[in-house]
Every structure is written in structure tokens, then in C-alpha cells.
């Protein structure tokens, strides 16, 4: 196989590049920041996004999309969700006609409320549509880079393409399951970040395990309701992309969304938290998109609504919890 192009050198893109290099693939890793790309190429360390790991020489660092994409049979796209449309438009002219594209981004496009699969379909020629795959599930980048056993889901429109991508990514410590429910896997991967913000808020306030268990359970129920309303398979939300990723991001210390929620729960303001942050907490944008989708599909999502109010309307975290606890009593 030709060299694999990885678009996006954040923590996750860097960890997946290390995984691919460990399997013997050559990797072209695209970094948006030219100065950081030049530094990383010399030091062989991504000190900003994934410090502590040496990058082998089989990973070439580049700030040129053409060099990262041209003549590559596989492209692994690992960008913040809000940049996907723009960056894919930029690299589309360099794509090989037979290239497989694997997206490892998690989010919903805010302006259109489209899942990223539909964004890719709008930008890319139809010949690429059946060669799109979407990677999601419980996977902290640092632990993958440390080669800790991890299980994850890969959704694909074409089962044969999904099988090929599964084989490319699977290792002794990284087990990839395939799934045909692209929409469900995407929605679960995006919405869990909003639930993780809520989990962090509970932690920041000082609530205990009872409260966290209730949030996780009801959060998954909300995610599934919205997914089913849009045509996703409800069983997806009981799998790695759903329950698995919710548990990880709601309880794990490495979760950026949870960490943001903790600071909100302790009384910090969102603008102060986001100022100067290099890494992206996808749940902030996704909270607004999810709330708008809930309104569009007339789906009851009280946790999503309270997180939206907390982020964008300045609601007090304790008031948000009170609102959830004093809602009309009903069947589970």
C-alpha cells in the first residue's frame, strides 16, 4: 500500500499516525501550523498536542495538503468538525481516484446541522461516497499512543470498504469493529461530548456517583431518541460508539469536554475557559447543533437543553440541575 495521508495533527491524529507507523505504514502527517510542522519535523515530538511520544522517521511531517494527499490510497481525516468542509474542499483536487477516506472527526456542522458524512458527500464527487468510513468509540489519544488495549467502531456505507479500513487500522492493542449504521455512529460520537460537559459540571459542583450514573443513563436515552428520529439504529447507542464513548468521556480524566464542564461547575465562565485553549472541546459547538436538531425533530432532550442554556445563556449550573430534577414525573 502507498503512504497513508493523515490530515490533522492534534492528539488523535498524531496517535493514529503512531499506530499506523507501528504497523509498518509510511505516513504523511499534515499540520495546519507551518511553524509547528517545521519544529516537529526536527524534534520528532508534537509538544503541543501529544507531548511525550517520539515520532519515527516513517512519519513525514508536512504543512502542504498536496504532499499529504496526493498519490495516497488511504486518507485519514482527523480535523476539528468545524473545519472539515473547508479543508476537504482544499484537498479534494489532490485525491487519488481510488482513495479510501476514513474520518475520525466527531461533530455536527453547526450552520447546516448535517452529520459529517453528509458534509463529505456535498464536497466530494460521487465516486468517493461509497469509499467513506467513520471511526468513533471510546479512545483517548494518549492511551492509544501508549498501546493500551482499545476497542472502537468503524462505520461504512460499503461493507467491503469497511473491511479494508478495519484491517488497515486493527492492531494487537487496537480492535476495530465494523458497523453499517453510519448516521448512528456519527451522532453518538458527537452527542456524547455534550453529555460529557454535563458530567464535568456535576463533578465541578461536587455531586457524587448517584448523580453521575443518572446523567449517563438519561444522556444515552436522549442521544438514542434523537438518533432514532433521524433514522439511526437504536442498537448503535448501546455499543462502543454510544455507551462506550459516553462512559469514557464522562468519567475519564483525559476528556477535554469533561474538563471544560468541571471548570463551569466550579463557577468559571465559558469565554474565560476557551481563551487561549489550543485544543478543541467539540461539545461546545455540538450543544448548539444538538439543541437545534432536537427542536427540528421535536425530540425531548432536557440534558442537551440545560447544557445549551449553561453554555450560551449563562445559566447557573446548580439551577440547571434543579430544572432536570424537578421536571414532570413520568415513566422511564
CA distances from 134 to 62, 66, 237 (A): 24, 22, 15
pLDDT tens for residues 76-86?
999 999 999 99
Whether the pLDDT of residue 119 is over 90: the answer is yes
Cell digits of residue 64: 502542504
Give yes or no for a contact between 123 and 88, defined as CB atoms under 8 angstroms apart. yes
Give yes or no for a contact between 106 and 10, defined as CB atoms under 8 angstroms apart. no
Instruction: Tell me the C-alpha distance between 266 and 264, whole Å.
Output: 5
* Sign of the CA dihedral with 288 first, then 297, 189, and 326 last: positive
The percent of residues in the chain predicted with pLDDT above 90, rounded, is: 97
Give yes or no for a contact between 219 and 303, defined as CB atoms under 8 angstroms apart. yes
Per the annotation, the verdict on 106 as an active-site residue is: no
Looking at residue 1, what is its pLDDT?
A: 62
Nearest alpha carbon to residue 268 among 324, 208, 320, 317: 317
Instruction: Tell me the C-alpha distance between 94 and 72, whole Å.
Output: 9
How many C-beta atoms surround the C-beta of residue 329 within 10 A? 5
Q: Which residues, including other chains, have CB under 8 Å from residue 330's CB and lie 6 or more apart? A: none
DSSP 149-164: -EEEEEEESSHHHHHH
How many C-beta atoms surround the C-beta of residue 11 within 10 A? 23
Which domains are delineated in the chain?
4-180 (3.40.50.720), 183-325 (1.10.1040.10)
pLDDT tens for residues 13-62?
999 999 999 999 999 999 999 999 999 999 999 999 999 999 999 999 99
Cell digits of residue 178: 465494523
Helix (H) or strand (E) holding 114: none
Mean per-residue pLDDT, 156-185 = 98
Cell digits of residue 270: 465559558
CA distances from 203 to 196, 211, 306, 317 (A): 10, 9, 16, 11
Cell digits of residue 322: 434543579
Q: In what order do the strands lie in the sheet with 150-156?
A: 59-62, 27-30, 4-7, 74-77, 100-103, 132-136, 150-156, 174-179
Cell digits of residue 171: 492492531
Instruction: Tell me the C-alpha distance between 39 and 61, whole Å.
Output: 9
Looking at residue 278, what is its pLDDT?
A: 75
Helix (H) or strand (E) holding 61: strand 59-62
Q: Cell numbers 516537529 label which residue?
A: 40
Looking at residue 281, what is its pLDDT?
A: 87
Instruction: Tell me the C-alpha distance between 205 and 317, whole Å.
Output: 8
pTM: 0.96
Give yes or no for a contact between 120 and 84, defined as CB atoms under 8 angstroms apart. yes
pLDDT tens for residues 129-168?
999 999 999 999 999 999 999 999 999 999 999 999 999 9
* Residue 190, CB-side half-sphere exposure with 13 Å CA sphere: 34
pLDDT tens for residues 272-327?
999 877 777 899 999 999 999 999 999 999 999 999 999 999 999 999 999 999 99
Candidates 26, 72, 121, 192; catalytic one: 192
Nearest alpha carbon to residue 1 among 75, 79, 63: 75
Amino acid at each position: 500500500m502507498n503512504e497513508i495521508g493523515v490530515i490533522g495533527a492534534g492528539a488523535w491524529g498524531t496517535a493514529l499516525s503512531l499506530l499506523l507507523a507501528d504497523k509498518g505504514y509510511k505516513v504523511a502527517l499534515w499540520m495546519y501550523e507551518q511553524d509547528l510542522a517545521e519544529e516537529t519535523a526536527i524534534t520528532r515530538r508534537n509538544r503541543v498536542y501529544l507531548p511525550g511520544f517520539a515520532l519515527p522517521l516513517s512519519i513525514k511531517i508536512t504543512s502542504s495538503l498536496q504532499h499529504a494527499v496526493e498519490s495516497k490510497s488511504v486518507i485519514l481525516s482527523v480535523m476539528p468538525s468545524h473545519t472539515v468542509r473547508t479543508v476537504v474542499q482544499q484537498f479534494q483536487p489532490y485525491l487519488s481516484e481510488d482513495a479510501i477516506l476514513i474520518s475520525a472527526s466527531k461533530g455536527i456542522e453547526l450552520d447546516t446541522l448535517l452529520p459529517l458524512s453528509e458534509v463529505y458527500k456535498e464536497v466530494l464527487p460521487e465516486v468517493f461516497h461509497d469509499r467513506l468510513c467513520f471511526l468513533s468509540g471510546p479512545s483517548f489519544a494518549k492511551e492509544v499512543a501508549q498501546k493500551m488495549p482499545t476497542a472502537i467502531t468503524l462505520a461504512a456505507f460499503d461493507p467491503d470498504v469497511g473491511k479494508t479500513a478495519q484491517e488497515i487500522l486493527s492492531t494487537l492493542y487496537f480492535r476495530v469493529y465494523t458497523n453499517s449504521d453510519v448516521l448512528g455512529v456519527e451522532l453518538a460520537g458527537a452527542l456524547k461530548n455534550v453529555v460529557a460537559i454535563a458530567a464535568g459540571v456535576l463533578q465541578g459542583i461536587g455531586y457524587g456517583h448517584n448523580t453521575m450514573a443518572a446523567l449517563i443513563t438519561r444522556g444515552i436515552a436522549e442521544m438514542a431518541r434523537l438518533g432514532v428520529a433521524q433514522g439511526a439504529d437504536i442498537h448503535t447507542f448501546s455499543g462502543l460508539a454510544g455507551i462506550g464513548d459516553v462512559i469514557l468521556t464522562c468519567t475519564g480524566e483525559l476528556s477535554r469536554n469533561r474538563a471544560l464542564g468541571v471548570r463551569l461547575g466550579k463557577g468559571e465562565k465559558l469565554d474565560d475557559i476557551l481563551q487561549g485553549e489550543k485544543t478543541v472541546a467539540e461539545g461546545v459547538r455540538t450543544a448548539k447543533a444538538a439543541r437545534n436538531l432536537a427542536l427540528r425533530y421535536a425530540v425531548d432532550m432536557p440534558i442537551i437543553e440545560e447544557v445549551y442554556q449553561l453554555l450560551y445563556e449563562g445559566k447557573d449550573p446548580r439551577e440547571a440541575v434543579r430544572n432536570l430534577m424537578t421536571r414532570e414525573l413520568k415513566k422511564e
